[in-house]
Amino acid sequence: MGRNAKTPFGEVRKRKPTTRCANLVHKLLTQPFIRSNAVEWGKVNESTVKNILIKQHKLNIESSGLFISGEYP
C-alpha cells in the first residue's frame, strides 16, 4: 500500500479522524488525475470487465463514484 502514499488517495488513507477534510477534498477535486499504464488500462477496459462480471456472476453493479470509509480508511 505504500505506492499510493504519493497520490491524494494516500493522503485520504493516512488522514487522522480529527483532521478537517476541506483542504483534502479541494485538492482531490482540482488537481490533475493520476496517469499511469494501469489507470489508463482501467479507463479503457472498465465497462468491458464490468459487463463480464455481471454476466458470469449474475451481479447488479451500479456506478457510484468514490466512497471513503471511516470504518475501513
pLDDT in tens, 18-59: 888 888 888 878 877 777 898 899 989 999 999 999 999 999
| pLDDT the model gives residue 5 | 44
Number of helices followed by number of strands (H, E) in the chain = 3, 0
Do 73 and 12 contact (CB within 8 A), yes or no? Answer: yes
